[in-house]
Amino acid sequence: MLDIRGLSSEGAGIGSLPDGRVVFVHRTAPGDRVEVELTQLRRRWGRGRLVRIERPGPHRRVAPCPHQARCGGCPLEHLEYPAQLEAKRSRLEEALRRIGKLEGLPAIEVHPSPREFRYRNRVSFTLRRLAGGRVVAGFHEVDRPDRIVDLDEACLLPEEPVARAWGALRQSWGPGAERLPEGRELRLTLRGTSDGQVLLLVEGGRLQEGGRLQEGGLDILLEGVPGLVAIWHREGTTDVPRLLAGTDEVEELWLGEVHPVRPGAFLQVNRAAAELLHELVLRELAPPRGRTLVDAYCGIGVYGRRAARHGGRAVGIELDAQAASVARSRAPAGFHLLEGAVEERLQEALPADLVVLNPPRSGVADGVMERLAATSPERIVYVSCDPATLARDLARLGDGFRIGRLQAVDLFPQTAHIETVVTLDRTDTGSGSRPSIQFQGA
């Protein structure tokens, strides 16, 4: 028997064996007492599979989705939503203290997602062709990631238009998914827009000789799937997507601006929570008029473009060519884009009054925080999707800044992921009431 005391960064419950080894068990909740089958055991840790719940924890619930016991898409769905938020807050605080060695932290403000379910405007499913013409398509199984859990439109993650499109696509792709590219395994990504249009990107597989699919197959998909307006394909993950059918002139209204939508251009998957996140960041940057802003890892340039429209001067830095193209499109006066890696082009954009960092899960590259520390902008707003890399990067910044505010936004309900907004003020700006970054043992 194991007593579950917390959750890992993957959403697995954490318990300990009598000899002190930590064991990770999916589908368990803090406070559970469970019977576990050990599936992997190392010198200091192990993994287990839930066999039986002897005593449920105080915040365990019956998961709304019948597939949740096996499906890896929603690792926390068996936990009440307020308890999910508390677990994420606790994980963030622990990472900042343990990995970043940070002390004197302000209280973490946690903002729930406006929608607990049906919030994703972009969902990726794995399609696998099996023997005998069988097809399964869905998410990887939680304890056996080599298997696929077959999911239809009843999946509770996609927005309603995306879910309807997924259900119809499954009915329209034909026996053995013959109307899709050939190959044992495909990755299918559906992206919905605010007005109900849906794009399909097929990754992997091969087109028939001459770059074709089954004759008439594309028309059947476009006609049979509600809202589907474009079908794209790329064989390799680094290939440029190719439009197979439909229109490439799909646009999305995002934070008051209209942007073209194509595979590769990044927009947050949780539309309502993303609006909340962006407003929180913009509030920390106000007022931009007459000030210079660096929008690093800018994607389509949401923060820099907004600052420029409100009288600031902004420089965006973005590596992805497609996102950079969108950022340049109809850019307001006062916004300039540098295409390339942040670590290579940041020096061209400095000095600046304000800096936004919105890096990928791996965090910022070596040297970025040190360069910012040397040039000392008045304020840095760091938007992070991983508490561990956030803690590491804040430690690299040194003692020239103080943490003025810590905010967590739940962009991904039912998962262990959390988005964090950290406001960092230069220590000599007169904000004496805000706690400094302090290091344990310093």
Please check whether residue 303 is in contact with residue 328, taking contact to mean a CB–CB distance below 8 angstroms. no
Do residues 416 and 391 touch, judged by C-beta distance below 8 A? no
Whether cis (ω within 30° of 0) applies to the bond prior to 58 is no
**Sequential DSSP letters for 302-324:** HHHHHHHHTT-EEEEEE--HHHH
Tokens of 321: 């060519």
| Cα–Cα–Cα angle for 397, 398, 404, rounded to 5 degrees | 75
Q: 212: exposed, middle or buried (C-beta count within 10 Å: 0-12, 13-18, 19+)?
A: exposed
Query: Distance between CA atoms of 151 and 141, rounded to whole angstroms?
Result: 11
Give residues with Cβ within 8 angstroms of 413, minimum separation 6. Answer: 81, 84, 112, 113, 115, 116, 117, 119
- CB contact at 8 A, 357 and 327: no
Pairing assessment for the beta strands 335-339 and 313-318 based on DSSP bridges = parallel
Q: Is 77 helix (H, G, I), strand (E, B) or coil?
A: coil
List the one residue out of 405, 366, 385 whose CA is nearest residue 9.
Answer: 385
Q: Which residues contact 283 (CB under 8 A, 6 or more apart)?
A: none
**Helix, strand or coil for residue 383?**
strand
User: Is 385 considered catalytic here?
Assistant: yes
Cα(140)–Cα(136) distance, integer angstroms: 11
- Assigned token pair, 408: 């967590």
- Catalytic residue (one of 65, 71, 155, 385): 385
Cis amide leading into 287 (omega within 30): yes
The terminus-to-terminus CA distance of the chain in angstroms comes to 41
Question: What is the residue-wise DSSP string for 219-258?
Answer: HHHHHHSTTEEEEEEESSTTSPPEEEEE-S--EEEETTEE
Q: Annotated catalytic sites, by residue?
A: 385
